[in-house]
Amino acid sequence: MSKLAIEAKGLTRYFGTKPVVQQVNFAIPVGSVVGLLGLNGAGKSTIIKMLMGLLEPTRGSCSLLGVESMSLGPDERSRIGYTIEGHFLYSGMTVRAAEALQADCFPKWDSLLYQATLQRFGISPNERIRHLSRGQRAGISIALTLSSQPELLILDDPSLGLDPVSRRALNETILSFMEPGGRTVLISSHMLDDIERVTDRVMIMTEGRIVVDSSLSHFVSRLSIWTCECSEPLDRVQIPGLVSRRQVGRQSSFVVVDVDEDAQQVMYRLGGNTVRQEESTFDEGVMAYMSRSRSASSLIPT
């Protein structure tokens, strides 16, 4: 069995009487790049904070690099890179001073990597942080995180608000980070094309639970998308393996997992010769699982 970089067992967190994360289980082997997806409020950031030992689980446990998250010490944390949404930096500092402050905390600091990452984002070391764009501040945050040479990288919505050029630079930086091998990335994001480009596995959360945990290719191959003209109210339609359904006028769309003959018969009964199978895509599949009309029975585990 592969060595695990991240593990969660029965991970649960309540805020008051409200369950925000419910009985979450997953294991991420070393060398994986995993995307964590979900609507706002699905529980993604809460999971990441528990993994980092910043928030204690109500029940269950989690670990990073074989160490319980609530017991992570300086030695373990020096092997972990973590960035948060917003990319907090001291705005009065220069880019070079930000490196000097961070480098003192990490014995394996790589100044050449820091400079190379800055160049990818078009940043001069002499610039003052307050004068930089949001995308450039994200670049500094990523450079500071990666230059400590972590074994595990955890990114919480790093591309939020970034322009396309900065997002491309971020994706290239993540891919470069993985090249030496033996490194692991967990990235939470709303940018589906970024997730599809850089990850090899996806976990989708809804209402505090993981409903999909699959390789990207396996996820897309098991889903099919069907359209037809249908006047019957969709809340009365029972299709085996139905993930989600939507209707605009007379045009209906169904996303189905592991479609079989029974499911097809129902759709042909509804739409007759107007039934069409469309190309399955990653983004359509993800949006179907995050839809508020999602069927609770259509799960894709590992």
Please, which pLDDT band fits residue 46 given cuts at 50, 70 and 90? very high
First to last CA, the chain: 15
Neighbours of 7 (CB within 10 A): 20
Is the Cα torsion angle 170, 175, 177, 183 positive or negative in sign? positive
CATH number of 4-207: 3.40.50.300
- Sketch the domain layout of the chain as residue ranges: 4-207, 218-290
- Residue 153 φ/ψ, nearest 5 degrees: -120, 125
Which of 8-22, 76-90, 133-147 has the largest mean confidence? 8-22
For residue 302, pLDDT beyond 70: no
Q: By the 8 A CB rule, do 83 and 141 touch?
A: yes
| Bigger pLDDT: 193 vs 58 | 58
pTM listed for this prediction: 0.89
